[in-house]
Every structure is written in structure tokens, then in C-alpha cells.
Amino acid sequence: MATSNSSPDETGGSEVESADPAVAPKRWPGIVCKCVCAYYILSALTLPFVNKVWLGEATLLALIQMPKSFLKSVVQHEFLLPFIHWAGWSRGSASPNYIMTQGWAMGIMISVPAVCFLILLLLVRPFPHRRRLIAAVIVCAILDGIVTLWFDSTSSLKLFNAIYF
């Protein structure tokens, strides 16, 4: 095993292993990026077929959408609906208020997790293939967002209208 003081000629190659964790490259950002991309791709690929596979009264593929649906429910019911009441934009009934905040909640549900994750990646020390992994997360998040908005506007199955609390 080579140390960080070894030259490339001594180790037989240009890869230098280090026992010092401060010098060793971080692998966790790459692994997390790949997992996030896999979730976005799985979410986008299964969403068009979510109404096809049922187990009793539950659609199995909807389980993949639960984190997004839960986030939308929290944003809409804990932040947006109280805000429109506070701002004086309420129409006096729950249904028009819910319809008024639906688009904003969907937009926040789609964009905020990806933006927060990208900010986190930009704040950590540079890691191998950083630009490619960030680009991959952006592309996968956009793809999932497009499929989610398409599904919500065309399907009779309303996955993103649930209230979880």
C-alpha cells in the first residue's frame, strides 16, 4: 500500500492510496447521486403504469410516489392554505382554496427536493465526476417532473391529492 508521500513511480501507477481521510476522495456524494437518479427514473418509469397493478384496493406502484405525495400534502396544507388565509386571498370555502394552491404545491413538490439536493452537492468539497453527477440529477429530476405533471393532468387517478395527517 502506498502512502500519500509516495511518488507515482514508486507505486507503479498514478493512483495513490492514502490512509488519511482528509486526503482520500469522498465516495458518498457519488453513491447518493446515483441513488437519487435511480429514484427519479423509477418514479418516472412507473408512474404511467400506476393504475394497472392493483392489490385489493391499493395500487402497488403508487408506493414509489408516496414521498412526493406526502411532501405536496405537507406543503399545501401546512404552508400554502394558511398563507392564502393570512394574505386575504381565501374564497371562503376549502375547495376553491385547494384548487388555487394545487399548482403551486405541485411545483414545490417537484422542484424543492432537487434544488436542495443540488445545493448540498455544491456545498461539499469537490468529488470525482461532480459535474456529470449534478447534470445527471438535474436531467432525471426534470424528466420525473415532466412525467408527474403530465400524469396529474391526464389521469383520473389522483395520487397527489391525498391528505396524510
Would you say residue 11 lies in a domain?
Answer: no
What would the mean pLDDT of 139-159 be, rounded to a whole number?
Answer: 93
> How far apart (Å, rounded) are the C-alpha atoms in residues 102 and 104?
6
For residue 119, CA distances in Å to 109, 116, 153 come to 16, 5, 29
For residue 44, which of 136, 156, 153, 151 has the smallest C-alpha distance? 151
To the question of pTM greater than 0.85 for the whole model, the response is no
Would you say residue 14 lies in a domain?
Answer: no
> Is the confidence at residue 15, as pLDDT, over 50?
no
State the pLDDT at residue 22: 57
The single-letter code of the amino acid at 70 is F
Would you say residue 165 lies in a domain?
Answer: no
Would you say residue 13 lies in a domain?
Answer: no
State the pLDDT at residue 12: 40
Q: Are 134 and 124 in contact (CB under 8 A)?
A: no
Higher pLDDT, 62 or 145: 145
Would you say residue 22 lies in a domain?
Answer: no
Would you say residue 112 lies in a domain?
Answer: yes
Q: Are 60 and 54 in contact (CB under 8 A)?
A: yes
State the pLDDT at residue 24: 54
Average pLDDT in the chain: 85
Would you say residue 162 lies in a domain?
Answer: no
State the pLDDT at residue 57: 82
> How far apart (Å, rounded) are the C-alpha atoms in residues 138 and 153?
22
* Buried/exposed 82-104: b ≥16 CB within 10 Å, e otherwise: eebeeeeebeeeeeebbeebbeb
Domain around 132: 28-49+58-154
Q: What's the structural domain count of the chain?
A: 1
pLDDT in tens, 90-110: 998 888 999 999 999 999 999
Report percent pLDDT > 70 for the chain: 84
Q: Are 83 and 100 in contact (CB under 8 A)?
A: no
Would you say residue 147 lies in a domain?
Answer: yes
pLDDT in tens, 28-39: 888 999 999 999
pLDDT in tens, 37-66: 999 999 999 999 998 888 888 888 889 999
